[in-house]
Amino acid sequence: AIQMTQSPSSLSASVGDRVTITCRASQDIRNDLGWYQQKAGKAPKLLIYAASTLQSGVPSRFSGSGSGTDFTLTISSLQPEDFATYYCLQDLHYPRVFGQGTKLEIK
Amino acid sequence: EVQVVESGGGLVQPGGSLRLSCATSGFTFSNYWMTWVRQAPGRGLEWVANIKEDGNLKYYVDSVKGRFTISRDNPNNSLFLQMNSLTVEDTAVYFCARDLTPTTSGVFYDALDVWGQGTKVTVSS
């Protein structure tokens, strides 16, 4: 199965900061990658699909980039509601695989 | 309103069985792939299985192959996960999720855009 390596596993940042989370696939997944946000005790929420397409209703401070094996999620200016755990998910090959998650905490 | 609601979780002994259900509404269920995702306590998300809109294709993560069966009832807009030979490693919250785009659309994206609140499965003696 494809391995998805997400980094960092945790990150401390302040409101207004720009943060970047990366996800690396063990083989080429074209642009078949999504980014999800999960808050404690809640279901995940789709932020980005097809590596760089913003899901409807998601604030424009979120952006995604990359193709092939290397992908990034960027939050341009952190807001208080952005502190959560973020996951990537490759949706090209079976089985689908999530990254291990990045917990974004308030500094 | 588009909605998916899981049910059927509970406490089961190792080696036991459980059947999860996911009731859907607000969209044409028979046009969408559907997925089960789980999350063990304090752990990350794990993709478990998905099923094609007509039920004719099913995929599983290796750790559940031969033990779990995903199925659907399109006339009743429902998704199921039959779980047999359960082990403590299957303890998790199980989420039902819908694909972003229907297979009837021109461009198909396999991202998961509608999620339920999850149903908790505890495997313990």
Task: Closest CB to A94: pick one of B46, B59, B95.
Answer: B59
Q: Can you read off the two tokens belonging to residue B30?
A: 């028979």
- Please give the structure tokens belonging to residue B118: 């999850």
Q: What is the pLDDT of residues A39-72, one digit of tens each?
A: 999 999 999 999 999 999 999 999 999 999 999 9
A71–chain B Cβ distance below 8 A for any pair: no
Of A71, A83, A63, A72, give the one whose Cα is nearest residue A13: A83
Distance from CA of A14 to the nearest CA of B (A): 24
pLDDT at B58: 98
b vs e for B42-79, b when ≥16 Cβ sit within 10 Å of the residue's Cβ? eebbbbbbbbebeeeeebbbeebeeebbbebeeeebbb
Integer Cα distance of B61 and B81 in angstroms: 13
Residue B34 has pLDDT above 90, yes or no: yes
Query: Does pLDDT of B3 surpass 90?
Result: yes
Within 8 A of A88 by CB-CB distance, chain B residues are none
Residues of B in contact with A95 (CB under 8 A): 47, 59-62
CB-CB under 8 Å, A101 with B112: no
What share of chain A has pLDDT > 90, as a percent?
A: 97
CA distance B113 to chain A (A): 5
- pLDDT band (50, 70, 90) for residue B108: confident
Cα–Cα distance, A52 to A88 (Å, whole number): 12
User: Each residue of B5-30: pLDDT tens digit?
Assistant: 999 999 999 999 999 999 999 999 99
Q: Which of B84, B82, B88, B103 is nearest to B36 (CA)?
A: B82
Q: Which residue(s) pair with A77 in the sheet?
A: none
Assess A101–B contact: CB distance below 8 Å, yes or no.
yes
pLDDT band at A4 (very low <50, low <70, confident <90, very high): very high
Q: What is the pLDDT of residues A14-37, one digit of tens each?
A: 999 999 999 999 999 999 999 999
pLDDT at residue B106 tops 90: no
State the pLDDT at residue B112. Answer: 97
Beta strands in chain B (DSSP E): 3-7, 10-12, 18-25, 34-39, 45-51, 58-60, 68-73, 78-83, 92-99, 112-115, 119-123
- Tokens 């972003």 correspond to B100
Each residue of B51-90: pLDDT tens digit?
999 999 999 999 999 999 999 999 999 999 999 999 999 9
Chain B CB contacts of A55 below 8 Å: 100, 111, 113
Please report where in the chains the tokens 């007509």 appear, as a residue: B54
Residue A71: its chain B contacts at CB < 8 A? Answer: none
Element (H, E) at A63: strand A62-67
